[in-house]
Structure 1
């Protein structure tokens, strides 16, 4: 599915006009190219139900459009309705057997089904007669990426970018592949080449900024995003990423100024307002932070980040009873965040709701078993309640999942000491010191009284030598 024309303002206006037509139940004319823009907008946003509705509306006006029939088949595949997608594309193939988009659509269906070898075969068939179609290269990249063949994926994403450097999704997916395969560093020249070839391309500088941002070279990223903005002052995404770069440098006032420029005048987005709220939160300016979180929720009442942010504000002000409401709403809206569950667990524990706290931390470890914080906090409540054996058993389970996490071994050592199981405690400490000597400070952070135990100190000193 290609974006039919490249002017983002025109695309935004087309989508706005279409949505206004729906909201007021009005009749409005859109040509075929405009419908393609509308459908592509929803597909890119993963709003497949809306894309399906737009496609059906378009087919009402253009019932014989092959492009729309193909769009409908691809959208069905993305919605998981594979049988319907196959039926629809078979109908197109019977009319136009040589249409490359038939193979492309079959490749998309195979990718969605997890049949990656078949997907690659279909895309290669489509590519054989259309080597310069950036969307086929992109879909090949997506199939290889889903197949965990990141080098092959990166190769096709790069080909797609050479043909269409303005596709931000391709840039993000390429960077994801390079990051996973630990090949980011060696690709600086690839991204620089676009700015060398066209120094006045705002997109080229923006893409270079994205690369530097992923490499955590924030000064270079800031310079690249600033170049993009000099060339195109209302490049809203560049303002957003410039702000994010400042956040990474903890320059929150500068970040706020850029977030304020990351949307059209008088059209703030919930994301920008929430980001500004978080910046004020980091500056410990509670009232403006609250106001911006509230403004974000006025636009989008289901924005979990803004609910969570307000909970954090109240927790920071030592108002855990009030914070609970916001944390509970955040996990209700997005239950796959271990950070949300852990914050809820901390607040529940703080107000004495021990059972609810334990349940929240258990949920945090289910969502992100690799995060040590949830396990340690969960075990700490058991320990504080005098359930030493349960705390030890819990962390031994965590060790089975992550045997090289020294944090767990240090905590088990402390719990064993509290339970009077000295020999086991010292064996655990040796394991922890072997895995990560520097983390031994955790013992004394959590349990300052252990600093007075000479045997413990001697063992730690032996490992220092």
Structure 2
């Protein structure tokens, strides 16, 4: 640039910063666009323009500015940080992982950004990246419950149940209402047929958020295995009202009703289950048992 162009660029850049400071988004965008016409490789202007466009919900344009800044300076942290967080917020998790892994490799240590990396990596089942990112977070702040939670879920997915329980219990200690952690510990217990444990964690989760049909089903099933049929009945009733198309729910409701002694209603539930899935063999067997009980009574 000539000295004159340099002066014009600096004036426009500073104008953009001032407009942004005072909340004049449209004017700030115009100023940064004009500055970039003079110096299209100015990373700070590209990032600032990207921020403003993102705030203005012009996400594709914002992505373009961040990507351009990454091209201009591949080792700059801010462009990758903003690009990765934008990709994650719009559901482009693989792209988010790509941008934020490099951010971490370049020495980026912003806790929220590293957590975004871990969450995006979790979405694409990249456990190695989850563990690396969460370790970095916990080295910076060992009270970050989300990092413990993500580590625990990752360990559970890879069937490292001891490590999973340690991490998830840490998350729950730090944040007792963490639904994800409560459900993940419950799932570990459920998969290992420890139904007393699973029932406790699923119950706690449903106290935080009652409308969780999948958790309700597992909680009720856990109670069933513990012979707590009377407690399981209203849960399966609620589940079948939320998921009336699921034959498993009707079958399980039929079983607990039968165990409770309400054979007539259990038969009705089995019939409903067979209407939904005529090939479900367990329902046929349960229906036969219930019909025989009716004959005996």
TM-score by length of 1: 0.43
Q: Secondary structure at the match of 1:274?
A: helix
Q: Say if 1:365 and 1:374, in contact at 8 Å, map to a contact too.
A: yes
2:174 corresponding residue in structure 1: 333
* Structure 1: stretches of 5+ with no match in the other structure: 1-5, 11-160, 167-192, 212-220, 456-465
Compute the displacement of 1:391 (Å).
1.2
Which among 43, 50, 62 is matched to residue 202 of structure 1? 50
- How far is the alpha carbon of 1:369 from its aligned partner? 0.9
Deviation string for 1:183-221 (max 9, x for gaps)? Answer: xxxxxxxxxx8999678343442134x47xxxxxxxxx4
Q: Is the 8 A contact 2:273 2:283 kept in 1?
A: no
After TM superposition, list the pairs within 5 Å mapping 1:12-411 onto structure 2.
Answer: 164=23, 200=33, 201-208=49-56, 210=57, 221=59, 223-229=60-66, 234-235=78-79, 238-244=82-88, 248-250=91-93, 252=94, 254-260=95-101, 266-351=107-192, 353-396=194-237, 398=238, 405-406=242-243
Listed one character per residue, the Cα deviations across residues 205-241 of structure 1 (whole Å, up to 9, x for unaligned) are 2134x47xxxxxxxxx4x3332231575544663133
Structure 2: 5+ residue stretches without partners: 1-12, 34-48, 71-77, 289-297
Q: Cα distance, 1:287 vs. partner?
A: 3.6
How many Å apart are 1:312 and its aligned residue?
A: 1.5
> Quick one: structure 1 residues 327 and 318, their matched pair in 2 at CA, closer, same or farther if it must change by over 3 Å?
same
Paired positions, count: 245
Q: How much does 1:366 deviate?
A: 0.7
Deviation at residue 342 of structure 1 after TM alignment: 1.1
Deviation at 1:324, TM superposition (A): 0.9
Ranked by relative contact order (alpha carbons within 8 Å, sequence separation 6 or more), the top structure is 2
Preserved contact between residue 111 and residue 140 of structure 2 (Cα < 8 Å): yes
Q: Which residue number in structure 1 is paired with residue 283 of structure 2?
A: 450
**Greater Cα offset, 387-396 or 331-340:** 387-396
Tell me if the contact between 2:85 and 2:96 (Cα under 8 Å) persists in the aligned partners: no
Cα pair distance change 1:194/1:263, threshold 3 Å: farther
Partner of 1:414: 251
Question: 1:343: Cα distance to partner?
Answer: 0.9
**What SS does the aligned partner of 2:211 have?**
coil
